A and B are shown apart, each in its own frame.
Chain A
Amino acid sequence: MAFYSEKVMDHFQNPRNVGEIKDADGTGEIGNPVCGDMMSFYIKVKDNVIEDVKFKTFGCGAAIAVSSMVSEMAKGKTLDEAMQITNASVAKELGGLPPNKMHCSNLGADALHKAIEDYKRKHGGTT
């Protein structure tokens, strides 16, 4: 049995939405204090909907797969819907993560939420 599920390996090998958005409406970054992973998220928002999302991640296979999955889940969602994405729902969508990766690498939703909060701060919480 491989260490990672097929879906995790797919997102790790073919990550969706890698990159940065130069004129992002919101950015969020999160680092893990234990293993030093880092995730940066960039969002473009139009009419309260996440129109585009990009990320860059320094971390293990799981961290990259998680970031990719979060970006896919967030795209096209309203800000409120995107705030409902949790680290647990991302792991579930990936078909599970090894137990020791659940906390360390599974921070994508937190980074996305930070980007949304950043957007709201800049735009006074209304659009």
Chain B
Amino acid sequence: MSEKERLLFQENSERRAVRAVYLENQANTRVDERVLEEMLPYFKEQYGNAQSMHSLGAVSKDAIEKARKEVADLIGSRENEIYFTSCASEANNLAVKGVADAYKQKGKHLVVSAIEHFSVLNAARRLGQNGFDVTYLPVDRYGLISPEEVKNALREDTVLVSIQHANPEIGTIQPLEEISRIVREKKIPLHTDATCTAGIIPVDVNSLGVDLLTLSGSQFYGPKGASALYIKKGIKLTPQIDGGIQENGRRAGTENVPAIVGFGKACVLAKSERDDNKRKMLPLRDRLIAALPEKIEHIYVNGHPDKRLPNNVNISVEFVEGEGMFLLLDQKGIYVSSGSACASKALKMSHVLSAINVDPAVGQGSILITLSKYTTSEDIDYLLAEFPPIVKRLRDMSPLYSYFLKTGQRRPAGPGTDYEHEHEHEQNQEEE
């Protein structure tokens, strides 16, 4: 590290030390101290491979089986229905590709929603390139999937339906029980990506009526590196990683024992503390949703007013661009994310915002704020104090805003916006 770099690093650290308000909890959460404590021995002393026959290996094996029970207890399944993976993306890939492959003799049609996470959407898209037919279900302006539309999409050759439990970006919670009744009637496997609900709100595989469910510990104060796929007994699935006998032959690869142990502990804590955490986050979320439009003109809340995750706030700020806002918030030690085109590495507006028909000019100014159990009332005060001047500063240099002030008219930000979702992109071109 050069002297200049060292000074910069020091300056950054000092700046961060002033105040750090982490509000990107849909991306990752801070590991709970009690989770970390539980994990540490499995780095230091109990480092055996869980597949080894000696007694050190047995300790790891036992730890994994304990965690398996803890995960099962959180979602109301049996232990032998829980399969550990490295991340939620892997679990989603295993569910979508694994089930599609195992049932391909029966048919080659899948149904997914247009606002799934990319690990479902792109897995489905790849199957589409390999001879499968994929139906992408539209959503309404709140992001809700209509059970009726699901019903109409089902065919004789449908082998999998994958509908997320809630959307991580706009927080909309789907009527999954209703959807599962319809899908079950046809005896078609139903997968749900519950990555942003498990550990946050009640998730029970029996009451939801799903056959496969993805959950991830890092979303609720567990470590990165361990997630799980619930696979109901009797559901067939082709492994996507071939190798040894781990996870009953359905997912090969040496188990990440410390992460799995931490995941299990996070599930135990979530089961007893989830409702308290929700009671803490909900008023903070509602305060933000009420106060932001009071403090800043021309902003819109994306997502559903009630059927919404207790930690999700997604707003579009008109006349400014999202990346500018999050960079300036970052300077204040406030960490959020943006669904704008300029902030995404692909330079395209979020497929979720375009699916709920957010005007591209407005969607560019989107900010996603997600709370955790660590978020305090002071954090919200700080955000509410710092955010309005940032918006004002960017609006003062926005030609779209000065045009609006002069004429009272809105003008489009640009001739058009590219869409991430090929399906919608095609539709768009047709409309043009």
CB-defined contacts of B341 to chain A, threshold 8 Å: 34-36
Given contacts A33-B416, A35-B342, A35-B417, contact A58 B400 (CB under 8 A): yes
By Cβ-Cβ distance, the 7 closest A-B pairs, closest first, are A36-B414, A60-B342, A36-B413, A60-B323, A56-B399, A35-B341, A40-B399
B397: interface (CB < 8 Å): yes
Which residues of A line the B interface, CB within 8 A? Answer: 4, 6, 9, 12-13, 15, 18, 20, 29, 31-40, 55-64, 100, 104-105
Whether the pair A104, B342 counts as a contact (CB closer than 8 A) is yes
Whether the pair A33, B414 counts as a contact (CB closer than 8 A) is yes
Whether the pair B414, A57 counts as a contact (CB closer than 8 A) is no
Whether the pair B342, A58 counts as a contact (CB closer than 8 A) is no
CB-defined contacts of B415 to chain A, threshold 8 Å: 31, 33
Interface residue ranges of B391-431 to A (CB < 8 Å): 396-402, 412-418
- A103 nearest in chain B by CB position: B347
Interface residue ranges of B293-349 to A (CB < 8 Å): 319-321, 323-324, 327-328, 331, 340-343, 345, 347-348
Q: A34-B348, A35-B341 are in contact. List 4 more A-B contacts (CB 8 A).
A: A36-B361, A37-B414, A55-B397, A60-B343
B189: interface (CB < 8 Å): no
Interchain CA distance A56-B8 in the complex, whole Å: 30
Interchain CA distance A34-B401 in the complex, whole Å: 20
CB-defined contacts of B347 to chain A, threshold 8 Å: 34-35, 100, 104
Which residues of B line the A interface, CB within 8 A? Answer: 8, 319-321, 323-324, 327-328, 331, 340-343, 345, 347-348, 360-361, 364, 396-402, 412-418
Given contacts A58-B320, A60-B321, A64-B324, contact A36 B399 (CB under 8 A): no
CB-defined contacts of A100 to chain B, threshold 8 Å: 345, 347
* Number of interchain pairs (Cβ within 8 Å): 91
Given contacts A13-B331, A36-B364, A37-B414, contact A63 B342 (CB under 8 A): yes
CB-defined contacts of B417 to chain A, threshold 8 Å: 34-36
CB-defined contacts of A20 to chain B, threshold 8 Å: 402
Whether the pair B397, A18 counts as a contact (CB closer than 8 A) is yes
- Minimum CB–CB distance from A9 to chain B (whole Å) comes to 8
Chain B interface SS verdict (over half): loop
CB-defined contacts of B396 to chain A, threshold 8 Å: 18
Whether the pair A59, B342 counts as a contact (CB closer than 8 A) is yes
Whether the pair A36, B397 counts as a contact (CB closer than 8 A) is no
Chain A interface SS verdict (over half): mixed
Whether the pair B398, A57 counts as a contact (CB closer than 8 A) is yes
Given contacts A31-B414, A35-B347, A36-B413, contact A57 B397 (CB under 8 A): yes
Interchain CA distance A76-B172 in the complex, whole Å: 54
Interchain CA distance A123-B272 in the complex, whole Å: 76
Whether the pair A29, B414 counts as a contact (CB closer than 8 A) is no
Sample 27 A-B pairs with CB under 8 A, ordered by A number.
Answer: A12-B324, A12-B327, A15-B397, A20-B402, A31-B414, A31-B415, A33-B416, A34-B348, A34-B416, A35-B348, A36-B341, A36-B364, A37-B321, A37-B342, A37-B414, A38-B399, A38-B413, A56-B402, A59-B342, A60-B343, A61-B323, A61-B324, A61-B327, A63-B321, A64-B397, A100-B345, A104-B347
Contact of A59 among B321, B328, B360, B416 (CB under 8 A): B321
Whether the pair B399, A39 counts as a contact (CB closer than 8 A) is yes
CB-defined contacts of B364 to chain A, threshold 8 Å: 35-36
Given contacts A31-B414, A60-B321, A100-B347, contact A38 B400 (CB under 8 A): yes
CB-defined contacts of B8 to chain A, threshold 8 Å: 6
